[in-house]
Structures are given as C-alpha cells and as structure tokens.
Structure 1
Amino acid sequence: MTGPTTEAGSRDGVAVELPWRVLPDYQCFGCSPANERGLRLQFRHTPDGGLTCALTFDRTFESYPGVVHGGMSATVCDEIMGNLLVLRLGVSVFTTSMRTRYVEPLAIGATYHCTASTDAVAGDKGPYTAHAQITDAAGQAVVFVTGSYQPVTPEQAKARMAMSDDEARLVDQALSALRTD
C-alpha cells in the first residue's frame, strides 16, 4: 500500500462513514479508500464527540531519513478537523487557516493517533474552529494544530468541488441526513 497504514486502533468508537462516499469516483487524498496514492484515513467517533484515527507512515512519506514529512502531519490534522465539522454541522467547510506546532518529529514505521475536537454547533454561522493533535504510542502529544474553517452553501460547494449536478445533489442529500440526525 502506498499510503500510511490506518487502523481502528485501541480507542473506543464507532466507525465513521463520510458523506462523500455517495460520489461514484470519490478520490480524496486524505480519506478515500479508493485512492491508491492517498492516506486512506479511517475515522472513529470518540466518546466526547470528536474523531480519531490511527496511522503509521511508510517511507513513501519520508522527509529526512526515518522522519515523516511535516506536511503529512498537517494534512492528517486538516482532514480530521474538516471532516469532524462536516459530520457535526451537516455542511461543507473549507480550510481558511491552520496553525501547526511540531513538538517531535513523527518516525517512519511508528503508530500514532490523531484526534480532533471542536466546540462548533449546528446553527453557528462560522467561521468554525477545530483542534487536532497527534499522539505517539506513549500518549504524548507530538503535533498540535488549530484550524479555521468557513462553511459554504451547496451551490458554492458544487462550484469549488467541480461536481456535476447529480453529484452535488447526492452530497447535499448526504449532508442533509446529518442535519436531521
């Protein structure tokens, strides 16, 4: 496999099915299981309403010898924070800014957990703030990220994501189902 190894990990939680699954050619670099070159992240709900995922990077994502490229850490955090907001709010969001603090480099072959949280609630106008951190096997945080996300209307999402009318309708229906749960 080209991407990092992802697994449920030892954290409690229910596997998450993302609304993008309704697209017939869903190729998100971060979370699509069909993208052979992507990260293929698999999220689980946390008991406190966040999301988590486990990951182990191979040398495909190496920077310095034995070290995961820092951009991959930021990508994982952006992916989990954005999807947490989409799932919680039932609307598409786009990243407007991220602040990343690296405490320790991630090692190739080591298993880490990324966890995201937010205080955003449905009905808030945005922009929304979310937080993520990556922890090592000992539970020590090695990366901290805060992101800001702007909600978009279904019409804006269709234009920005280059979706057909049918694809936009499918995604909007999937997001609407989240708003009624």
Structure 2
Amino acid sequence: MTDLPSVLATWVDKFRPHPDGVDLPPHHEQCLGCGPDNPHGHHLQVRRDGDGVVADHTFDNRHVGAPGIAHGGAVATVIDDLYGFLLYLVGTPAVTRQLTVDYRAPVLIGVPYRMEAHVSSYEGRKLFLTASLTDPEGSLVGTSKAVFVTVGVEHFSRGTQ
C-alpha cells in the first residue's frame, strides 16, 4: 500500500498546470480507479482536454454486474475517479461530497467508452462537476453530476490513524 507521505510528495507535480493533451499522472499507484499497481483496479488513463479531462475506458469481466453488463458501482467508481483528475487542473485537493449517475443505457463489458468531465462552477470550497459517458457510435449512455469540496492536506491523514 502506498503510504501518505509518499503520496503527498508527488502532489507538487500533480496539482500544477498540465499542457493540453497530455496524459495525467495517476492519483497514486494503488488507486482503485487509476492506480497501475492495483490488480483489482480499473487502470484508468486520463488526459487533459482543454478545460476538462477525457478518458477512453473498457470495462472487463472483473466489473460484471448482470451478464455482459458493467456493474453500476464500477461505472460510478470510474466516473468518480475521472472527476479526481479535474482537481489537477483546479490546483487543489478535494473530496467527493455528492455523486449522482444517470444510467441511460447498459454499459457493456468489452466496449470502449469515452468519458469526459468538466468543472461547471465554483461556490466557495464547493466544485460543481459534470461528466458524460458515450459509446463508440457517440450515443450518450450515462451522465453524472458531482459536488466536490476542497480540503487541506490534513484531511488525508485520517486514513493513516
């Protein structure tokens, strides 16, 4: 497991301006959404796209809900993680306060989906975020809204006690 001091040491490089089109670094090596070393994770790879972020993701058999369909919780996990990459553009850590997902069609196993996320607005410490999930034909299969709240680094020390 990645320890907190190691994760925090990488934040200087992550919470800074990133050029448009570049791949963004994972939150940490064991992150469930994007961690490359998490054998149970999604290994999400995200890049900056203008004032938002974008990722292409294919759910596999580890993510099955009903046969051939991704579990709704797996889809929500990936969307929540995608939102986390917006924080690199905003320049500060934050945590999920509220997350809603509108599933408009089944998310199928083995199909590549395009996911996009943007910051809609700010209100004090609150960030209002939106995301979409489209299939290879460009049909919208899901949308999401979230509220994230900016936090100080001390927030994350709670997980090490």
Contact 1:134 1:144 in 2 (8 A): yes
Residue 43 (str. 1) matches residue 46 (str. 2): yes
- Secondary structure of the 1:71 match is helix
Q: Give, in angstroms, the shift of residue 79 of structure 1.
A: 0.7
For each residue in 1:95-129, what CA deviation from the matched residue of structure 2 results, as whole angstroms up to 9, or x when unmatched? 111111010011111110111011346xx632111
Q: Give, in angstroms, the shift of residue 132 of structure 1.
A: 0.8
- Once residues 91 and 33 of structure 2 are traced to their aligned partners in structure 1, the CA distance between those partners, rounded to angstroms, is 19
Contact 1:76 1:114 in 2 (8 A): no
- Once residues 154 and 57 of structure 1 are traced to their aligned partners in structure 2, the CA distance between those partners, rounded to angstroms, is 32
- Secondary structure of the 2:100 match is strand
Structure 1 runs (4+) deviating above 4 angstroms are none
Q: Give, in angstroms, the shift of residue 148 of structure 1.
A: 0.5
Contact 1:73 1:143 in 2 (8 A): no
> Which residue identity lines up with residue 40 of structure 1 in the other structure?
H
Question: Following superposition of structure 1 onto structure 2, how do residues 15-164 of structure 1 map, counting pairs within 5 Å?
Answer: 15-18=23-26, 20-21=27-28, 26-47=29-50, 49-84=51-86, 86-120=87-121, 125-157=124-156, 159-162=157-160
| Structure 2 alignment gaps of length 5 or more | 1-19
For each residue in 1:25-76, what CA deviation from the matched residue of structure 2 results, as whole angstroms up to 9, or x when unmatched? x3110011111211110001113x1111111112221111111111111111
- Once residues 75 and 66 of structure 1 are traced to their aligned partners in structure 2, the CA distance between those partners, rounded to angstroms, is 18
- Once residues 131 and 78 of structure 2 are traced to their aligned partners in structure 1, the CA distance between those partners, rounded to angstroms, is 9
Taking only aligned residues, the RMSD between alpha carbons, in angstroms, comes to 1.9
Q: Give, in angstroms, the shift of residue 142 of structure 1.
A: 0.5
Contact 1:82 1:149 in 2 (8 A): no
> Which residue identity lines up with residue 115 of structure 1 in the other structure?
E
The percentage of counterpart residues that share the same residue type is 31
Residue 13 (str. 1) matches residue 18 (str. 2): no
- Once residues 134 and 160 of structure 1 are traced to their aligned partners in structure 2, the CA distance between those partners, rounded to angstroms, is 33
- Once residues 73 and 154 of structure 1 are traced to their aligned partners in structure 2, the CA distance between those partners, rounded to angstroms, is 28
- Once residues 119 and 161 of structure 1 are traced to their aligned partners in structure 2, the CA distance between those partners, rounded to angstroms, is 29
Contact 1:94 1:149 in 2 (8 A): yes
- Secondary structure of the 2:125 match is coil
| Structure 1 alignment gaps of length 5 or more | 1-11, 164-181
